[in-house]
Amino acid sequence: MSNKLTPKERLSIERVHMPELAADVRSGNFEEVNQGLSPEQALSEARRCLQCKNRACVAGCPVGVSIPEFIDALASQDLPRAAQILRGDNALPAVCGRVCPQETQCEALCVRGVKGDAVAIGYLERYVADWAMRNPDQLLTAALPASTGKSVAVVGCGPAGLTAAGELARQGHRVTIFEALHDTGGVLRYGIPEFRLPKEIIDREVAVLAELGVTIECNVIIGKTLTIPQLREEFDAVFVANGAGLPTMLGIAGENLKGVYAANEYLTRVNLMEAGRRDDAATPIIKRSQVAIIGGGNTAMDCVRTARRLGASRAMIVYRRSETEMPARVEEIKHAKEEGVEFVMLTAPIAILGTPDGWVSGLECQRMELGPPDQSGRRKPQPIPGSEFVLPAEVVINAVGTNANPLLTASAPDLELNKWGNVVADENGQTSIPGVFAGGDIVRGGATVILAMGDGKRAAAAINDYLKAQ
């Protein structure tokens, strides 16, 4: 079927709404909130795309997905072609369709957004990727390339490592991923909860890599089990993508009390170790009714919505700026509010209070007001003298951010780091050690899935050139 509509006909179609689980149902379970578009909704949304010649949306995508082309194939009801185009540009489309901040990337540049609603590119990406997973027998597959005889070690099995591994395997190189944890996916698995990204989606996307011949060795900590110089000796090139998972401490009194968690620990216990969801989980979690989360990003939103699902009657976000400055995705904030999360804005923690036997009993806070913008361009919060108050809390979760973990870099003294401990790499991922490339959060600090994937893609191209030149 062709996708022939006049611009007027396209402009008359309204943007679809993503079907969601009802808030009162989902706040008691870990089922995925967004349910995905129906075939009719997907077709209708695809027909809204104007097929612009200048492809403004593509410029907003860090991995350069051929957006109008895959949408055109979808609108023409040629799903195998839509899937082939999408998967050719993006190694993890079902993940990106769920967690990418499209509203600030491709959709922010979509011309339909100038006078109305942008095309729901993310929803369509998810639709096509999910279709491809359900219909593997209908996919158009390319033959595997001949082996180049070259080998590449990838450190870390998050989005940057997975993307680079896929791209390199498609060039015929022998790729081995070394992952410190016992499972794949990085933050996608241990950080982002199932109600946003089901584990099955990660398993299926990782399985595509296995089909390409990528080997994944879990439970290998580079910096302990093996070092970067050892990898460099054994492999023709190395890509370092170990993320930035070390929590930033709050630096306030009471951080060692029982009931205080760093966000990554809290989420890892629930998502990876199944604490709170299985009574016999080996790694338990403290469940209480009053839980305060400090921070305003996606991580804070994931923690607070998890706490709510683990039974907190009062799950609170404590953030020192206002909602306008919150870095979390708009959709996460909306979902959290619908699920009964409390937002305590313009409030900074001063100390975590405890009982005589060492358990958290409250969070001492101070009200803030916004001053002029700081270096980040956001208005700087300033304390209001005399505004101190105590927020009742039994669990406090620190979700203010993370840093690079020095475990790996300490084993590679020649690897240049910046003042925050992140690996220094050029735009192609080349580090100070020849043949060692890096990308994702270990280079950028905490960023996004798609930026990490973009780094993986660029580094893979540079590694390919490097190997060819040898």
Smallest separation, CB 353 to ligand FAD (Å)? 26
Decide: residue 465, CB within 10 A, 0-12 exposed, 13-18 middle, 19+ buried: exposed
Q: Does 108 bind ligand SF4 (CB under 6 A)?
A: no
Q: Does 296 bind ligand FAD (CB under 6 A)?
A: no
Q: Does 120 bind ligand SF4 (CB under 6 A)?
A: no
Q: Does 263 bind ligand SF4 (CB under 6 A)?
A: no
What amino acid is encoded at 48 in this protein? Answer: R
Q: Cβ closer to ligand SF4: 11 or 249?
A: 11
* DSSP result, 136-167: GGG---PPPPPP-S-EEEEE--SHHHHHHHHH
Give the residue, chosen from 62, 93, 159, 276, that forms a contact with ligand FAD under the rule CB under 6 A: 159
Q: Which residues pair with 353 in a beta bridge?
A: 362
Decide: residue 246, CB within 10 A, 0-12 exposed, 13-18 middle, 19+ buried: middle
Q: Which of ligand SF4, ligand FAD, none does residue 452 bind (CB under 5 to 8 Å by kind)?
A: ligand FAD
Smallest separation, CB 51 to ligand FAD (Å)? 27
Is the C-alpha dihedral spanning 129, 135, 137, 140 positive or negative?
negative
List phi, psi (to 5°) of 200. -60, -35
Q: Cβ closer to ligand FAD: 135 or 225?
A: 225
DSSP state of 182: S
Q: Cβ closer to ligand SF4: 82 or 442?
A: 82
According to CB under 6 A, which residues from 169 to 208 bind ligand FAD? 178-181, 186-187, 191-192
Q: How many residues does the chain have?
A: 470
Residue 437 to residue 429: CA distance in whole angstroms? 5
39 HSE (CA, 13 A, CB side)? 5
DSSP state of 97: H
Smallest separation, CB 87 to ligand SF4 (Å)? 18
DSSP state of 13: S
Q: Cβ closer to ligand FAD: 190 or 466?
A: 190
According to CB under 6 A, which residues from 67 to 96 bind ligand SF4? 67-68
Scanning 46-54, 55-63, 136-144, 447-455 for contacts with ligand FAD by CB under 6 A, the matching segment is 447-455
Q: Cβ closer to ligand SF4: 46 or 162?
A: 46
Helix ranges (H only) for 222-292 are: 228-234, 263-271
Q: Are 122 and 61 in contact (CB under 8 A)?
A: no
Q: Does 47 bind ligand SF4 (CB under 6 A)?
A: no
What amino acid is encoded at 142 in this protein? Answer: A
Residue 270 to residue 283: CA distance in whole angstroms? 9
Q: Which of ligand SF4, ligand FAD, none does residue 160 bind (CB under 5 to 8 Å by kind)?
A: ligand FAD
Q: Residue 393 has which token pair? A: 């809390």
Give the residue, chosen from 13, 18, 23, 50, that forms a contact with ligand SF4 under the rule CB under 6 A: 50
Residues 59-88 as x/- pattern, contact with ligand FAD by CB under 6 A: ------------------------------
Scanning 116-124, 202-210, 216-224, 429-437 for contacts with ligand FAD by CB under 6 A, the matching segment is 216-224
Q: Residue 274 has which token pair? A: 């199944």
Q: Are 400 and 299 in contact (CB under 8 A)?
A: no
List phi, psi (to 5°) of 162. -65, -40
List phi, psi (to 5°) of 372. -70, 160
Scanning 106-114, 219-227, 352-360, 369-377 for contacts with ligand SF4 by CB under 6 A, the matching segment is 106-114
The number of beta carbons lying within 10 Å of the beta carbon of residue 332 is 22
Q: Which of ligand SF4, ligand FAD, none does residue 447 bind (CB under 5 to 8 Å by kind)?
A: ligand FAD
Give the residue, chosen from 73, 85, 92, 119, that forms a contact with ligand SF4 under the rule CB under 6 A: 119
Residue 408 to residue 243: CA distance in whole angstroms? 11
Q: Cβ closer to ligand FAD: 79 or 94?
A: 94
Give the residue, chosen from 157, 231, 285, 467, that forms a contact with ligand FAD under the rule CB under 6 A: 157
Which residues contact ligand SF4 (rule: CB under 6 A)?
49-52, 55-57, 67-68, 110-112, 119, 121
Which residues contact ligand FAD (rule: CB under 6 A)?
99-101, 155-161, 178-181, 186-187, 191-192, 221-223, 241-243, 245, 267, 298-299, 302, 405, 407-408, 440-441, 446-450, 452
